[in-house]
Amino acid sequence: MAGTDRNRELITGGPAIILVEPQLGENIGMVARAMANFGLSNLRIVNPRDGWPNDKAVSAAAKADHVIAAAVVFETLEAAVADLNFVYATTARPRDGHKPVRGPVEAGEILRGREDGGEKTGILFGRERIGLRNWEVGLADEIVTFPVNPAYASLNIAQAVLLMSYEWMKSGLSDPHETAFDSPDVVPAEKADLHGLFAQIEEGLEARGYFRSETKRMKAVDNLRAVLTRPGFSTDEIAVLRGLFASFDKFSRSGQRSPSGNRETGDGG
């Protein structure tokens, strides 16, 4: 799905994404892409099988160049987490129960709170085939697991990173129903603007004989206003609609019958 806009400010930072012994460069690239989608940029790679840098990772990253360029390779997991204050380990398998287990939504909120409090955080992701070993999970503070189909619980590493990256981004929104595409420049229309639109449409319909009786007029106006108040128009949208209806007033199909059965005049009635 296309949507890259180089004119917008790039969101970076957030928890470190730590890949433990990833096998394929393509998977690392897709991880970088998922991170960039949701504003993460700190990629740490522990002992990648095919070495680093990796051309296949660059290709699969789909222009997430800032993530790839800043990626740091470590020889050991201990070194990769040494400067972090709090770490999650992702796993689909039941563990020994000694660590708290969170879902992705709660984990995202906890990470956001800790990062906002000045802590450095990270999320561990295991190997494509076997995931994280028990001792590697033991280096984390808590576990995060995903609500997946128990009969088919295996996630691709990039999918797992995408899920956590999404929850990280969502945890920073002021409203859980908000989206990153919401624009602060959209100004909700004032009621006066909406009432002006009502009057314009009703005057136009009246001029064309749309209302056959006062009773039908009242019912039609009620229905019209119910429809027009449902979307919650912005000021700009009201302006577009008023311009549209104004253009109808300037153009009339001469010779066609109006709803009343009378022929319309050439000047729009």
Residue 239 belongs to some domain of the structure: yes
Residue 21: per-residue pLDDT: 96
Residue 6 belongs to some domain of the structure: no
Rounded Cα distance between 30 and 46, Å, is 16
Tens-level pLDDT at each residue, the chain (269 residues): 455 555 566 778 899 999 999 999 999 999 999 999 999 999 999 999 999 989 999 999 988 999 999 999 999 999 999 999 999 999 876 566 678 999 999 999 999 999 999 999 999 999 988 889 999 999 999 999 998 887 787 788 999 999 999 999 999 886 666 655 554 555 677 788 888 888 888 888 888 888 888 888 888 888 888 877 766 777 888 888 888 878 776 655 444 444 444 444 444 43
Q: Are residues 115 and 193 in the same domain?
A: no
Q: How far apart are the first and last CA of the chain?
A: 48
Residues 6+ apart with CB under 8 A from 238: 189, 193, 194, 196, 197
Q: Are residues 148 and 200 in the same domain?
A: no
Residue 45 belongs to some domain of the structure: yes
Residue 160 belongs to some domain of the structure: yes
Choosing from 136, 171, 206, the residue where a domain stops is 171
| 101-139: burial string, b at 16+ Cβ within 10 Å, e else | ebebeebbbbbbebbeeeeebbbbbbbbeebbeeebbee
Residue 269: per-residue pLDDT: 39
Residue 181, classed as helix, strand or coil, is: coil
Residue 151 belongs to some domain of the structure: yes
Choosing from 171, 202, 219, the residue where a domain stops is 171
Residue 103 belongs to some domain of the structure: yes
Residue 11: per-residue pLDDT: 78
**157: burial class by Cβ within 10 Å (0-12, 13-18, 19+)?**
buried
Structural domain of residue 99, as residue ranges? Answer: 16-171
Q: Are residues 147 and 259 in the same domain?
A: no
Rounded Cα distance between 86 and 121, Å, is 5
Q: Are residues 32 and 138 in the same domain?
A: yes
Q: Are residues 158 and 221 in the same domain?
A: no
Which residue matches tokens 């906890």? Answer: 110
Q: Are residues 229 and 120 in the same domain?
A: no
Choosing from 108, 138, 171, the residue where a domain stops is 171
Q: Are residues 27 and 160 in the same domain?
A: yes
* Contact in structure between 40 and 65 (CB atoms under 8 Å): no
Dihedral angle sign, alpha carbons of residues 94, 95, 96, 99: negative
Report yes or no on whether pTM surpasses 0.85: no
Q: Are residues 147 and 39 in the same domain?
A: yes
Residue 5 belongs to some domain of the structure: no
Q: Are residues 204 and 258 in the same domain?
A: yes
Residue 245: per-residue pLDDT: 78
Q: Are residues 165 and 196 in the same domain?
A: no
Which CATH number covers residue 79?
3.40.1280.10
Residue 229 belongs to some domain of the structure: yes
**What is the count of structural domains for the chain?**
2
Residue 142: per-residue pLDDT: 94
Q: Are residues 34 and 83 in the same domain?
A: yes
* Contact in structure between 28 and 48 (CB atoms under 8 Å): yes
Q: Are residues 23 and 86 in the same domain?
A: yes
